[in-house]
Structure 1
């Protein structure tokens, strides 16, 4: 029954289709279990186990004709040999709604075929009229030219390729070939087991055998042949032109410009192939059936993006066939979706061999193959295609892999597009071999050409005589030409042999071997070199090499070569453990630095982070830093990325937090470098920070009671530590010891629309004791060694809210509307005085003076002092919020008045503030426009003299540009340890055009008339590559009396390879306010 049912089903389908002349019909074959035709005419049968040997046993089936479009009789021809069947589409007449498009198609194909028989021959099919007998003798064959259906996935823009009728599809010259080839991974097209049947010429089998033996085959890379001529062949340009159909333009204006250009070229009969060869061709806008776009930053700067056809579920007929088979025959898709083939014509030998022709499409599980002709071996699943071949695999977004967590990414589907003249494709394993192929990768946003592309597995690609570029096809500014490129998507790397890197048409670098990334994952290979010139080191060339040692750890080895110093080797190792976190170790060594009295220079930086998987919010980290000398960071931290250049931390810490507890336990010490202050005085040991061996801090809050006291809040703080500091320069006696601090507070805040009242009571306890060595050094007796104080405190913070609808003075009622909020505020604080002169100060300082500090509980930052306080703080805050919810103005002004002058100070013989008030402090922020911000903050001391003023203007002329300008005027304040400074600050990012921009920042000291730190540079970015050139002048933070260091740095980036963010923007991250969003939009 197997062959009988299959035979009858297809025969009935052909009869049904032939009776409907007003619809274009296509043969649809779905394997392994489905045979179907377009909906409304289809029949699906389940293959059985029996066969028949004669056509006579087939029963005719009548199909009711449409009442609106009566059926006409068409001649259906079959082979007299019932075991072999040939199907031919005999009518392509469309319904009246499609007359216009059909007439256009008819006109464009008149030179290809005037009759149905000619049409068959034009696509390489044999006219079987001599060997078949009509089943309906009184009907004539309809003679209509071939027309392409409107719902075609790919609309041909040129005349279909006419294959050689003397060359059978089973003997394609490249994909099948030479028995002498040594490439065992190359896929071969299937061979017709019955050479006399099918659509090939049956008169010359010996000639075909000779052609097959002498056909071209894939050869190993020949070093003696140049690639220049390869990339100028017509087949290359035709493939690239067809590939451009999948380059989707991103601008309607650009599409219109290109379409107009195309029309002009058509009118003037411009040779499109020559235009492509000159790299001036414009891609057509791809059909709107795409399902993926790259999120790579550089892709946004391109005029278009590579996209893949949406192959999943594109054919509703296929989905219907699957559903019917699942319902009627119990089809299971557990092992993948069945193969689906659609064609205008088909040949099946009732065993294992199928030939399809005319608009052939094969779909399976997100993969699409289209061609003029395809031969398929049902036993092996191998297909051979020729003539206008397209191979597409739908792309998808990257997803992290569990084995490598955040650092490893793998594409769940390749997103590869390839067009070629010949292809052999394995439907079971995705293996493929193609010749004269142009290809594009959607995840990489890259394209290229290869004389031969072989895909031996799902993750490997082998390309010979290849060109590759991540530039757009319209403007290929760089490209890699290689004799051979091997790509492995599992490892995320590609290998190129005999590679030449070209900028435009100019070869700039030859590499016999080149390893490069094909996605965001880490893998071994040479990273982008960088160059720098500065006044001390001279020219510096850095060449990093990345080592992907294992999935859980890697390393980067960087060789720095200087003209004025000896070479330096830097190693950076990263690791990732399953249960114990991740870390990074960086070490550097330079022997006998010529610029540093032939001393060895070295640095070690280590960090480890851990987060518990069993206890949420439990984390730990460890940090270690070491440098060989005080100038190490200044000399070798080119981009200013080390945060603290004076006290390098060495720390181990465990942290935990939840809704009620925030706790931290740490051990911390420092390497304090030799430094001088602004006056040139050497920083003494007594000013160095204490080590904490260890320190435990806990902030907690008791759960609230769900009753009338549900607003009652109880909070507390615990801080205990052993502090150690060695004094080696005799600047003071050593003061090391233990400190215990506890504070518990209870408050009952009331917050309403009219305002707020927040009463609070607290009790603080402080205990300290010197260690034995410090006790002896400071001549403290054992009885006086333990110091303990208890200090209660009370405060009430309150404010009123006064609302007013509309804008200030009604100025903006018609444009912005909104409301105003005026809040007067007053806070009373009281805590008694307790003598603490015998208690050492380990880490406490006085807070900087500003508006918010006026309403704080204490002026001390740290727990070595408990302030006495009997004061009233008053303030007035005003806000204007527009109808969009944007705060247009927010400002406040206030003062703190002391009823009793504070007596407790950092030192035993002085109070914190020897005045009746702190002085006036204010803050204000104004946003008159959505892209303009103004900040103005300042304070006066108790004598109404200026303490400080800071002002900042930030303006964004466009989303990808900014201008910042600021003024700092700061007076020396010995109480808060504030140093004097009079400076101007400025920073800017200004695009010159869509590719060039200027970046700069500087801080100018008006007292010393010099730039403390300044950086200026230009940045170039396009779809292909980017580079930066910038200069920097800066002073050593640890010695401001030294002469400034000056450096010029340059870097070159290739988009699509590694991180495209420039070192210039990384350096300016903390120096330019608002840089991150502006830089992001610039990349787009």
Structure 2
């Protein structure tokens, strides 16, 4: 079996176990002897060089110790035989026996009728005979368990076991695994750990059920290839689909590390075709300032994550991104070159909705401050865009293009403890080189013959845009000593003004590759562009007014309360828009407000609100209450609202009941749809050497709103090893703040 690794709510996996009986003598034992030493109350001479030692006999050697009631010792051969309450110990194992034989030259010791305990691990059992020599031990006709005798909840019974303490592994031959007295598994050969090092072997099997796949049985096998290489192979038997193989390979070097994950299901019984997925994640250091990052993904079909994903978020993935890039950062500069590909895996969307591939995107940034009153820099980018539909003979073909974006800037900061003023001047130039696919005649696609709005056509192959960007950021800092809930606090208050001026430039002749209107929030109050990407530079004549305040505990400096509020006032209409969007004639943005409150180390409250005075309506609202208790107890209650998009309530909890029991659950409900998005509940019991978990789940499994039910069942026999279990991984994703 594989490495033992308990990930339950008890920090010490053996905390629920009583102290081992019969080994009190270990606590005071000293194995630091540097020379061989024999002690006894009485010594009788039985022959020419045969001695009988009786009464508290102890044989001490460097790193091992043996005691007995009687020891017969032959001086010429240094052989001895010990009888009566025999006890043996070394740094790895402790044994009691009826009889022991050995030699004083530190060679093998053989013991009969043995009860043994692995030190540092709760492995224990009985054996007809044990032979210990150096870092090796062999036990015959034995039992092994991490439970306490005489009635272990589970045990391994074997013809023989070899323990290699140098490698930290045990090998059992002709073994049977028993729960109680019932044999549940016969193993001609089995490996198991005798310390905390990773070992090759089978991990805990898991049993589950879902409506769409039926019974789900997983039997992971962990392969410890090297100290820096390992792999996990998991055959997964799906009752209604067949056998799926999950594989994971991990590697780590001094400069690089990564993980490769792949799944393969040949001939899905439900769909009649092969299915699978692949992911490679890699991070590495190339030089002092340079690193490489890769995240490559692929799936066989649009429904793969719906059928095999474990989380609500995973099942709703519409776009699968892959990227490979080199990144550099040094004193005052940064650079990168990244290739990014997108795969559309939403069956309800067409290829028209797929983003452009970036093959590649190169960026360079310079930020220098020769003195406290001057900063200057440049932000540059070049991207080569291509699309799946590029060059196709299709009404909705997409053209290739290259885009260049250059923004030099200079800033004249005035910084003081009482506040700051940061005037900044920038010039942004964006230019394109379009392929011929963009240059068709608009008459080729009349509005009503295309099904919806026609694709863009640009008569100019090299359109461009240049505009000045002027901003002034100013703030004042105030502090005072105060109190909050009886605790001494330092309160900060920061009023902040941010003026932005960008002249209007007609950009209707520019294509849109990656620009989207950014989600509005507090950070957006201080940005120079309300669009992502470089295809649109927003016009602006606006002033942001914001106020923020923080309460910091004077005892430890921790933030206990933070408040912020702000709004943008527009002095001109917002004329630059994405295609088919009207001019925005509002006089101001929505008010953005938020609060974070920490009540001691247990309670926290988060609030967020966006209110639009133009329509006298809330655009966004959120509230969350969280509690963290002892022994992993926690509770979360949340409300989320976005006008016209979603309105949800979400609650989750982890509730320990005593030292052994724990309940978990979550309910995520859509008020807008009047339906449950996800609900699950489960229970865990953890004993000294056994733990089990049961979790039931109801969830929305696809974008059409179809629901499904699933059941997870796990039995953990502590000490036989596990590196990961599906319920623990699932709960970490599903419950905020959950820790294993």
Give 1:1024 shift: 0.9
Q: Render the CA deviation track for 1:961-998: whole Å, top value 9, x for unaligned.
A: 111111112113xxxxxxx1111111111123321211
Q: Is the Cα contact below 8 Å between 1:485 and 1:497 reproduced in 2? A: yes
Residue 1055 of structure 1 and its aligned partner are, at CA, apart by 1.7
State how far apart, in whole Å, the 2-side matches of 1:850 and 1:579 are. Answer: 38
Distance change >3 Å, CA 386–CA 857, structure 1 → 2: farther
TM-score relative to the length of structure 2: 0.86
| Paired residue secondary structure (2:287) | coil
How far apart are the structure 1 equivalents of 2:341 and 2:327?
A: 18
Match of 1:963? 635
Deviation at 1:872, TM superposition (A): 0.7
The residue number in structure 1 matching 2:499 is 828
Q: 1:653-1052 alignment to 2 at 5 Å?
A: 653-675=325-347, 682-702=348-368, 704-705=369-370, 709-710=371-372, 712-727=374-389, 732-776=396-440, 784-807=460-483, 812=485, 815-884=486-555, 885-907=557-579, 910-911=582-583, 913-941=584-612, 942-972=614-644, 980-1037=645-702, 1039-1041=703-705, 1043-1052=706-715
Find the partner of 1:601 among 247, 251, 274. 274
Distance 2:621 2:521 in 1: 10
Contact 2:681 2:695 (8 Å CA) reproduced: yes
Per-residue displacement from partner, 1:156-191 (whole Å, max 9, x unpaired)? xxxxxxxxxxxxxxxxxxxxxxxxxxxxxxxxxxxx
Residue pairs, 1:227-626, within 5 angstroms: 297-304=12-19, 309=27, 337-344=34-41, 357-374=54-71, 384-394=81-91, 415-425=92-102, 431-458=108-135, 460-472=136-148, 476-548=152-224, 554-574=230-250, 581-591=257-267, 593-596=268-271, 599-612=272-285, 615-616=287-288, 618-626=290-298
Go from structure 1 to structure 2 and tell me whether the alpha carbon gap of 1:483 and 1:594 turns closer, same or farther (over 3 Å shift). same
Q: Secondary structure at the match of 2:733?
A: coil
Say whether the 8 Å CA contact 2:151–2:180 is kept in structure 1. Answer: no
Partner SS state of residue 498, structure 2: strand
Distance 1:378 1:1075, change over 3 A: farther
Task: State the Cα deviation string for residues 489-531 of structure 1 (Å, max 9, x = none).
Answer: 4554433334333333444444444333434544443332211
Q: Using a 3 Å threshold, how does the CA distance of structure 1 residues 789 and 754 change in structure 2: closer, same or farther?
A: same
CA 484–878 in structure 1, closer or farther in 2 if over 3 Å, else same = same
Using the TM superposition, give the Cα deviation of residue 302 of structure 1 relative to its aligned residue in structure 2, in angstroms. 3.2
Structure 1: how far apart are the matches of 2:577 and 2:625?
A: 37
Distance in 2 separating the partners of 1:338 and 1:348: 24
CA 1:750–1:583: 2 relative to 1, 3 Å: same
Task: Determine helix, strand or coil for the equivalent of 1:867.
Answer: coil
Quickly say closer, same or farther: Cα 1:391–1:774, change in 2 above 3 A.
farther
Q: Residue 1045 of structure 1: CA displacement? A: 1.7
Structure with greater contact order relative to length (CA < 8 Å, sep ≥ 6): 2
CA RMSD of aligned residues (A): 3.5
Gaps of 5+ in 1: 1-294, 319-336, 395-414, 676-681, 973-979, 1080-1084
Residue 732 of structure 2: aligned partner: 1069
Partners of 1:781 and 1:1008 lie apart in 2 by 40
Change (3 A) 1:757 1:303: farther
Deviation at 1:734, TM superposition (A): 0.7
1:932 CA drift (Å) = 1.4
Name the SS for the 1:854 alignment partner.
Answer: helix
May I ask how many residue pairs the two structures share in their alignment? 712
Deviation, structure 1 residue 777: 7.9
Question: What is the CA distance between 1:805 and its match in structure 2?
Answer: 2.3
> Following the alignment from structure 1 to structure 2, what is the Cα–Cα distance between the partners of residues 475 and 746?
78
Q: Shift of residue 1011 of structure 1?
A: 0.9
Q: Residues 305 and 315 of structure 2 are in contact (CA less than 8 Å); yes or no, is this contact kept in structure 1?
A: no
When residues 389 and 701 of structure 1 are mapped into structure 2, their CA distance, relative to the original with a 3 A threshold, is farther
After TM superposition, the structure 1 stretch with the greater mean CA deviation from structure 2, 838-847 or 1052-1061, is 1052-1061
CA distance in 2, matches of 1:620, 1:927: 39
Deviation at 1:691, TM superposition (A): 1.2
| Conservation of the 8 A alpha-carbon contact between 2:397 and 2:437 | no
Q: How far has the Cα of 1:930 moved from its partner?
A: 3.2
1: distance between equivalents of 2:552 and 2:428?
Answer: 40
Q: Distance in 1 between matches of 2:515 and 2:99?
A: 78
Pairwise CA distance, 1:743: 2.7
Could you tell me which of 648, 669, 688 is aligned with 2:320?
A: 648
Q: Give the gaps of 5 or more residues in structure 2.
A: 1-9, 445-455
1:107 matched to which residue of 2? none
Whether the 8 Å contact between 1:898 and 1:917 is mirrored in structure 2 is yes
2: CA distance between counterparts of 1:1011 and 1:609? 37
Change over 3 Å in CA distance of 1:841–1:451 after alignment to 2: same
* Alpha-carbon distance change, 1074 to 558 in structure 1, aligned in 2, over 3 angstroms: closer
3-state secondary structure, aligned to 1:734? coil
Report Cα offsets for 1:824-873 as digits up to 9, x if no partner: 22111222223322222221212212223212232222232222222111
Quick check: 2:204–2:725 contact (8 Å CA) kept in 1? no
Give 1 or 2: higher helix fraction: 1
* 1:442/1:771 CA distance change after superposition, 3 Å: farther
Which SS does the other structure have where 1:689 is aligned? coil
Q: Describe the shift of the 1:391–1:768 C-alpha distance in structure 2 as closer, same or farther (beyond 3 A).
A: farther
Q: CA deviation at 1:392?
A: 2.5
- 2-structure distance, mates of 1:426, 1:836: 93
Q: Could you say which structure has the larger radius of gyration?
A: 1
Q: Quote the residue 1:97 is aligned against.
A: none
Deviation at 1:947, TM superposition (A): 0.4
2:339 is paired with a residue whose SS is strand
Structure 1 contact 611–617 (Cα < 8 Å) conserved: no
Query: Paired residue for 1:135?
Result: none
Judging changes above 3 Å, is the alpha-carbon distance between structure 1 residues 1007 and 641 closer, same or farther for their aligned structure 2 residues?
closer
Any conservation in 2 of the 1:850–1:938 contact (CA below 8 Å)? no
TM-superposed deviation, 1:909:
6.0
Q: Compute the TM-score of the two structures, normalised by the length of structure 1.
A: 0.60
